[in-house]
Amino acid sequence: MERETCQRIFSQVVDAARALGVTEIEVLLAGGEEALTRFANNAIHQNVAARDVNLSVRPVTDGRTARATTNRLDAEGIRNVVAEAVAITRLTAPDPDLQPLARPAECQPAERCFEATAQVTPRERALAVAEAIRRVEGAGQTAAGIYSTGDSFFAALNSRGLSAWHRETMARFSITAMASGSSGWAKASACYHGDLDPVQLAAAASGKAAASQAPRELPPGRYTVILEPAAVLDLAGQMFGDFSATAIRDGRSFLNDRIGRKVFGGNIDILDDAHHPLQSGPPFDGEGVPTRRTVVVENGVLKSYLLNTYAAKKLGLMTTGNASRGLAGNPGIGSGNFFLEPGAKTPRQIIADVKEGLYVTEFLGFGVNLVTGDFSRGAGGLWIVNGELTYPVEEITVAGNLKEMLRNISEIGNDLEFRGSVACPTMRIDGMTVAGE
């Protein structure tokens, strides 16, 4: 949906709200098109496409606010959703900390739309999938996965003059290679489909499947452990919600009253940067506030929380432009592009420095206490001997404490991988507890 169409719909919302005696109104519009090619058993079995647009309306009156959402954009549908939002708002208790609607502010452009990606055909996806399947099939394995391409938009408009609009494209490729008694997985996404390499991803998945065959057991002990990016995200990513000002306000974060204090190792820098070149998303948050680069942790020292305008008012701080972008409910807090700053070494160089240790490719099940940070998780991976990945290991458990782990990272890789709004590179941690199951 183009900017002009969004503005026209907003005008209709304003007219409907004024007819009900409401002059302060916020509108969010989001939608797009996505097409997907799905494959399994070394063959494509599905091509599907979907298109959707949703309108969310939030009136503000007498210190009250609420939200209603619809996918009907005809005149009657717009009048109905406005009437519903106004009715709910008038039944809501006043909130003395409710913030005014955002005023217009200049946003740094985020060029993330590529017409070539928006126009990718089913045939183009099928040809790329066929090459990936051939790579896996050539290793005597079976491939399954998806390749999707899409074009989306997000707009935020309000009665104070805000009119923010963003369009972007996205391509995703995910593949699982299955061998006899083992499997491997690889995934990547990019705003420009040409930045994806399905054959390389197929080779990575196939290599993992081959390397995971005939696993051995591991004696319990304290070992050097290297976590690949997906494993780091699976484990440490669970604690990133503690940086939200909502968690701080509610007293359920281990970071309460820790601003300016060292909370992690000196080699840890954590940032939230919606303009990171490897990421996606609009240059404004769910309230229309411009996003920015926020240093959250620097040299292990906590520098900032993530805030929207409401939480910022509660804590006496300024918003960091991190209002979440959901179309239901009032604005929450979410990361733009939250990541741990990568290091200088490649994963291969980090592995080469380890005489004996464990390379973890995945964690299994649950077992993390987000209050204390204690964890105990099943894991799978490869054993390292003299700087080389040698054989797979199975039936192991890795245990420790997330906070302690982030204080004792000895190496950080240069392989930052974004799979959503949170990203981590490879990490090496010495002296972790590993036990057989």
Q: Does residue 167 form part of some domain?
A: yes
**Could you read off the pLDDT of 218-236 as tens digits, one per residue?**
889 999 999 999 888 888 7
H helix intervals, 218-306 = 229-236, 245-249
Q: Is the pLDDT of residue 368 over 80?
A: no
| Closest residue by Cα to residue 2 from 75, 53, 70 | 53
DSSP-derived 3-state class of residue 292:
coil
- pLDDT tops 80 at residue 115: yes
Candidate from 1-5, 200-204, 366-370, 411-415 with smallest mean pLDDT? 366-370
Residues with Cβ within 8 Å of residue 134, at least 6 apart in sequence:
none
| Cβ neighbours of residue 393 closer than 8 Å, sequence gap 6 or more | 215, 216, 217, 218, 358, 380, 381, 382, 383
CA distance linking residue 119 with residue 193, whole number of Å: 10
Tell me, yes or no, whether 376 and 400 share the same domain: yes
137 with 228, same domain? no
Q: What is the pLDDT of residues 242-264, one digit of tens each?
A: 888 888 888 888 888 889 999 98
What are the backbone dihedrals phi and psi of residue 338, each rounded to the nearest 5 degrees, phi first?
A: -95, 120
Residue type at 48 in one-letter notation: V
Cα–Cα dist 341/412, whole Å: 9
In the predicted structure, residue 437 carries a pLDDT above the cut 60: no
Q: How far apart are CA 290 and CA 321, in angstroms?
A: 6
Is 351 among the domain residues?
yes
User: Comparing C-alpha atoms, which of 379, 387, 244 is closest to residue 315?
Assistant: 244
Q: CB–CB of 93/111 below 8 Å?
A: no
Instruction: Tell me whether strands 68-70 and 409-412 are parallel, antiparallel or unpaired.
Output: unpaired
Whether 104 and 10 share a structural domain? yes
Is the same domain home to 171 and 65? yes
Residue 269 lies in a domain: no
Pair 12, 35 in one domain: yes
**Residue span of the structural domain in which 194 resides:** 3-205
How many distinct structural domains can be found in the chain? 2
Same domain as 165, residue 60: yes
